[in-house]
Structure 1
Amino acid sequence: MSDTAERDEQATGQGSDQERRARLRERRLAAHRKARRVFARFGFHKTLRERLAELDGAEDLYDLDELSDLYGDGVVEALEAKVAGLLGTQAAAFFPTGTMAQQVALRCWAGRTGNPTVALHALSHPEVHERNAFSEVGGLRPVRLTDEPRMPSAAEVRDFEEPFGALMLELPLRDAGFVLPSWEELTEVVAAARERDAVVHFDGARLWESTVHLGRSLEEIAGLADSVYVSFYKSLEGFGGAAIAGPRELVEEAKVWRHRYGGLVFQQFPTALSALAGLERELPRLPEYVAHARVVAAALREGFAAAGLPWARVYPEVPHTHDFQVWLPYEADVLMEASVRTAEETGVLLFAAAWSRGGPGLACTEVCVRSAGLEWTAEDVKTAVAEFVARLPGEGGR
């Protein structure tokens, strides 16, 4: 075969593989829509009509007879005040995205400290999911404290070999399994940064649900940091948006940079109202979701053992939040097909998220427990595991 023919054949194979995965994704989303039982029904799985219906009752959250917002006033300012109150900070600023919000907060701190270096975890969101935005756009220089699937330790912060102006901690660390430190570990890490005259910024996209594991209030947790970022859609089911909370002077400067970054949007009332709804309706329920996620995790472990798959890892074994990882010794595509087939044939979707390759013959997915997940009993979970395993090759599958 000529080099040209071989390349054509490889390209055709890659195209077919991409098309197959695209079809599988479409089947997965369709199965999620039709499933009678899932652990969570996220906004991006819903129609526009369903999403707009979630704003029903918004008159209880804000005076809808007031004029609509204009460039960050009105309902947006009300949301900012609500967030600052919950976190116990002097002020807060609304941003359209967390990527923008954290860049702005950290470049503001860099101007104050005179050091653009940000110490963070190798699995933190800016390092994994933002296309090097810190360095390419924000003028910041990230350095990695560790790549272990845990939070950085106080020793790693204290003994790092070069100066840094800010320490960024992602609470919880999503790509390591939504893991959190203990309260004692967190306070020690913060103290180690202070010893180095570094400011501390919390990437708190999922800070809202971290109170259970840390055993402290939102105000106490946020009070450890110099600034905090929070998201309105990851757990609160808002339409989008984020906020930076901290000292008033920092927040006022962040608003200037928000404008420069193009984040001062003409009108944002739907997103702001949905965030207020999330704070009112979902925030109080998060501890219940965390508690039930632990029931689900235990049932998954027991179900896999009973189904003859003792090498199945739930991580953390006792979830720190209402989200956690499941690891299985199969290729990702095999697990995805089994997940979708199970949902199509039984109406029960055990694993709604995509599977990602974690090594040869090893894959990982995320399990997210929300209000829909409260309907599952431990026995429901074990039954679903048995149905799923039956559709895996070599496990009596069909």
Structure 2
Amino acid sequence: MADENDHTDGAHDDGPRGVSRGRRLAALRGSERVLSDSPFARTIGERLAQLTAEAPGAYDLDGWLDVYGDGIVADLEARTAELLGMEAAAFFPTGTMAQQVALRCWAGRTGNDVVALHPLSHLEKHERNAYTVLGGLRPVHPTTEPRTPTAAEVRELDEPFGTLALELPLREPGFVLPTWEELTEVVEAARERDAVVHFDGARLWECAPHFGVGLADVAALADSVYVSFYKSLDGIAGAALAGPASMIEEAKAWRHRYGGQVAQQWPTVLAALAGMDRELPRLPSYVAHAKVVAKALGEAFGAAGVPWFRINPGVPHTHQFQVWLPYPPEVLEEAGVRLAEETRTTLFNRWFPGEVPGLSVTEVTVASSALSWTAEDVGAAVDALLERVAAGG
């Protein structure tokens, strides 16, 4: 669930809210049952042991170390391109770099430096405006509504744009996706405007169940796609940009200029390959179970008489969604840590202030640790959490 330069579930230093990072992670690690896990609740030794155990099944360890992007890196690029149905792919150390390079390449090829994108997208919220500051590009916003722009909104933009960038899913409003028909229509609208389409698909891996098509079918709508290897696949870091072979060759040149041509990247790439093997087949089950968990949470909050709450979206589009509650973040975090310490059960991770005073929001990620949770389990944990919220004032 962690992103670069945004709120995470444990990557940042302790804040002013009372629950230290060390205490929170210790409570999570000590839990026997975890609904929404954290990728940061592991020691270096544990992560290294996991990689050591999974590596032999992920790649031939008798191969030579990679040197500036060859060997195992090139093999990951080829596998990613094949999964996405694209001609080629380039590995990048970060998604922020991959996105900058993609938009820069398309601006040069279209002759238009205007990018149409959502103001809540990762490009705008969590990359320090890199595409404008470093790339010299200019944004236009088809909509400010908390959803993907519609075809009509794209057609009605009052100035030309070279690239339409769509974040799938759009994280900030609750990991939301359009319908398949809406997505195909908005892509067609961009083509009518002589624009190319770039998918910010950091979490594209888990979108196919919502659309009811294959992963390559989703990617085929776009001219280029960025995917992350750590957000959904539990890798260490890293990303890939996929698209036409000529564009990817240009992207690799810009990757070098941006400092992304790293001498050796085999640990990160090994973790990505292992994550593909382990997590990709499981993602549909995570998405399906997220619907069970979200419904159970809503029913439990309603039965407990919580004065206001929201599960957003009510039926999750992916395996991630938001929970909003009418209590301060520090009260919810203290109650959650106490629940974990006293019962060895972790329900939620970090809480953050909502835009409306008095409301707090958390992001729920339903992954392997949540699959054993029944609706009854969710309801019992909610009751236990709310008891501690009440006790904490």
TM-score exceeds 0.5: yes
SS at match of 1:285: helix
Give the equivalent residue in structure 1 for 2:229. Answer: 232
User: How far did 1:42 drift?
Assistant: 3.7
CA deviations on 1:371-391 (whole Å, 9 max, x unpaired) are 001121111100010011112
Give the equivalent residue in structure 1 for 2:305. Answer: 308
User: How far did 1:21 drift?
Assistant: 2.3
CA deviations on 1:44-73 (whole Å, 9 max, x unpaired) are 211112112222142232221111000000
SS at match of 1:44: coil
Structure 2 residue aligned with 1:152, among 149, 152, 157? 149
After TM superposition, the structure 1 = structure 2 runs for residues 221-370 of structure 1, keeping only pairs within 5 Å, are 221-309=218-306, 311-370=308-367
CA deviations on 1:289-346 (whole Å, 9 max, x unpaired) are 1111111101101111111115211011110000000011222222222222222222
How has the CA–CA distance of structure 1 residues 58 and 153 changed in structure 2, closer, same or farther, with 3 Å as cutoff?
same
SS at match of 2:115: strand
Give the equivalent residue in structure 2 for 1:3. Answer: none
Q: Is the Cα contact below 8 Å between 1:134 and 1:142 reproduced in 2?
A: no
- TM-score using structure 1 length: 0.92
Give the equivalent residue in structure 2 for 1:390. Answer: 387
CA RMSD, Structure 1 to Structure 2 (Å): 1.5
d(CA) in 2 for partners of 1:231 and 1:222?
14
User: How far did 1:104 drift?
Assistant: 0.1
Q: Is the Cα contact below 8 Å between 1:353 and 1:367 reproduced in 2?
A: no
Give the equivalent residue in structure 1 for 2:50. Answer: 54
SS at match of 1:249: helix
How has the CA–CA distance of structure 1 residues 254 and 349 changed in structure 2, closer, same or farther, with 3 Å as cutoff?
same
User: How far did 1:364 drift?
Assistant: 1.0
Asked if 1:37 is matched to 2:37, the reply is: no
User: How far did 1:132 drift?
Assistant: 1.3
Q: Is the Cα contact below 8 Å between 1:358 and 1:364 reproduced in 2?
A: no
User: What one-letter code is carried by the residue in structure 2 that aligns with 1:334?
Assistant: V
CA deviations on 1:192-216 (whole Å, 9 max, x unpaired) are 1011001000000000000110111
d(CA) in 2 for partners of 1:182 and 1:310?
32
User: How far did 1:22 drift?
Assistant: 6.0
Equivalent pairs, count: 379
Asked if 1:103 is matched to 2:100, the reply is: yes
User: How far did 1:40 drift?
Assistant: 4.2
Structure 2 residue aligned with 1:180, among 177, 180, 189? 177
d(CA) in 2 for partners of 1:286 and 1:39?
16
User: How far did 1:356 drift?
Assistant: 3.0
Give the equivalent residue in structure 2 for 1:82. Answer: 79
User: How far did 1:138 drift?
Assistant: 1.8
Q: Is the Cα contact below 8 Å between 2:88 and 2:248 reproduced in 1?
A: yes
Q: Provide structure 1 residue ranges, at least 5 long, that are not aligned to the other structure.
A: 1-17
- Greater shift in the superposed pair: 142-151 or 280-289: 142-151
d(CA) in 1 for partners of 2:307 and 2:298?
8
Q: Is the Cα contact below 8 Å between 1:24 and 1:337 reproduced in 2?
A: no
d(CA) in 1 for partners of 2:353 and 2:244?
40
Q: Is the Cα contact below 8 Å between 2:31 and 2:344 reproduced in 1?
A: yes
d(CA) in 2 for partners of 1:363 and 1:75?
43
- TM-score using structure 2 length: 0.93
Q: Is the Cα contact below 8 Å between 2:95 and 2:238 reproduced in 1?
A: yes
d(CA) in 1 for partners of 2:127 and 2:216?
28
- Greater shift in the superposed pair: 118-127 or 26-35: 26-35
CA deviations on 1:112-138 (whole Å, 9 max, x unpaired) are 011111111111001111111111112
Q: Is the Cα contact below 8 Å between 1:356 and 1:365 reproduced in 2?
A: no
Give the equivalent residue in structure 1 for 2:3. Answer: none
Q: Provide structure 2 residue ranges, at least 5 long, that are not aligned to the other structure.
A: 1-13
How has the CA–CA distance of structure 1 residues 57 and 340 changed in structure 2, closer, same or farther, with 3 Å as cutoff?
closer
Q: Is the Cα contact below 8 Å between 2:18 and 2:330 reproduced in 1?
A: no
d(CA) in 2 for partners of 1:305 and 1:22?
29
d(CA) in 1 for partners of 2:376 and 2:58?
39
Asked if 1:112 is matched to 2:109, the reply is: yes
d(CA) in 2 for partners of 1:290 and 1:29?
25
CA deviations on 1:66-109 (whole Å, 9 max, x unpaired) are 11000000000000000000000000000000000010011000
Give the equivalent residue in structure 2 for 1:376. Answer: 373
